[in-house]
């Protein structure tokens, strides 16, 4: 393992995650030179794709450099603490809210968008790495604690011009109950795929960018008949593939 003992999760932190559905560690993830290279990779995307770089889904499908991060011991040691030793890479995503114009992310559950793709969702976790400093002012993510115990709310249609998604959970969310993820650069949060989360618009003068790394316990089973799984690539990270899933081994 490349992480020192201070970087791994304590039993208290793990139990907090399982009960609340999220965790803020305040710990740096990568050594500074390695993080700086990842930062440079995103800046390259931003230069090449402009506004289209604000929502870069599964960039690792076409950029093998990202596996240096997605399959890194620094990441997988943390993920293993949450979902166990049998780990698959589900997806990754650069999410960027530009100053003043970055739209709000409506309240949603990732599991609702992935419904039918797994047999269950209790072993799917997202590590959200702050590429830029993430604050309330620039639209940091927030979660509704313990809402991962549901995972499939009712949704309503939105005006897509004011938000990043076209749908939002129809139940009114009391923002006084939300925990906001304010993160310095190169620190991370963890959240369950079923938890209700979202983010406000970026009203500040500072960009907010995160890199989401999403993993699943390979004891879970992917549905081979779901249309979304037909061309989606999943990768082996560690351990056994007890769900007999179509993993790519690098």
Cross-strand partners of 198 = 142
CATH number of domain containing 177: 2.60.120.620
Q: Residue 199 falls within a domain, yes or no? A: yes
Q: Residue 5 falls within a domain, yes or no? A: no
Taking CA 133 as the corner, what is the angle to CA 132 and CA 139, rounded to the nearest 5 degrees? 95
Q: Residue 6 falls within a domain, yes or no? A: no
Average pLDDT score, the chain: 94
136 close to 180: Cβ distance less than 8 angstroms? yes
Give the pLDDT confidence score for residue 195 in this predicted structure.
98
Q: Which domain holds residue 159?
A: 11-248
**Does the pLDDT of residue 6 top 50, yes or no?**
no
Give residue-wise pLDDT tens across range 142-196.
999 999 998 899 999 997 777 788 899 999 999 999 999 999 999 999 999 999 9
Distance CA 88, CA 37 (A): 24
Q: Residue 144 falls within a domain, yes or no? A: yes
Tell me how many domains the chain contains. 1
Q: Residue 4 falls within a domain, yes or no? A: no
Q: Residue 1 falls within a domain, yes or no? A: no
- The secondary structure of 118-131 as a DSSP string is BS--TTEEEEEEES
Give the pLDDT confidence score for residue 7 in this predicted structure.
55
Give residue-wise pLDDT tens across range 206-244.
999 999 999 999 999 999 999 999 999 999 999 999 999
Give the pLDDT confidence score for residue 4 in this predicted structure.
46
Q: Write the CB contacts of 42 (distance below 8 Å, at least 6 apart in sequence).
A: 53, 94, 96, 131, 209, 211
Distance CA 129, CA 141 (A): 11
Q: Residue 147 falls within a domain, yes or no? A: yes
Predicted model pTM: 0.94
- The secondary structure of 66-112 as a DSSP string is GHHHHT-HHHHHHHHHHH-S-EEEEEEEEEEE-TTTPPBEEEE-HHH
Give the pLDDT confidence score for residue 55 in this predicted structure.
83
**Does the pLDDT of residue 1 top 50, yes or no?**
no
Q: Residue 3 falls within a domain, yes or no? A: no
Give the pLDDT confidence score for residue 51 in this predicted structure.
78
């Amino acid at each position: 393992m490349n992480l020192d003992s201070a970087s791994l999760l304590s039993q208290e932190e793990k139990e907090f995650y399982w009960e609340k559905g999220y965790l803020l560690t305040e710990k740096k993830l990568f050594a500074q030179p390695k993080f700086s290279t990842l930062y440079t990779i995103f800046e390259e995307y931003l230069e090449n794709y402009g506004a289209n770089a604000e929502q870069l889904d599964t960039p690792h499908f076409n950029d093998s450099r990202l596996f240096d991060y997605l399959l890194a011991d620094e990441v997988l040691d943390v993920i293993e603490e949450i979902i166990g030793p049998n780990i698959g890479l589900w997806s990754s995503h650069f999410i960027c809210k530009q100053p003043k114009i970055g739209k709000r992310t409506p309240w949603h559950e990732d599991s609702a968008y992935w419904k039918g793709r797994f047999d269950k969702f209790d072993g799917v976790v997202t590590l959200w790495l702050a590429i830029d400093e993430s604050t309330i002012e620039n639209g940091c993510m927030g979660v509704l604690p313990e809402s991962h115990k549901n995972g499939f709310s009712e949704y309503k249609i939105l005006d897509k011009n004011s938000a990043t998604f076209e749908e939002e959970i129809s139940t009114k969310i009391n923002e006084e109950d939300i925990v906001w993820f304010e993160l310095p650069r190169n620190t991370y949060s963890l959240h369950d795929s079923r938890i209700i989360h979202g983010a406000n618009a970026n009203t500040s003068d500072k960009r907010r960018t995160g890199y989401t790394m999403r993993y699943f316990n390979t004891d879970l089973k992917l549905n081979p008949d779901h249309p979304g799984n037909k061309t989606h690539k999943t990768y082996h990270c560690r351990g056994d593939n007890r769900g007999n899933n179509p993993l790519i081994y690098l």
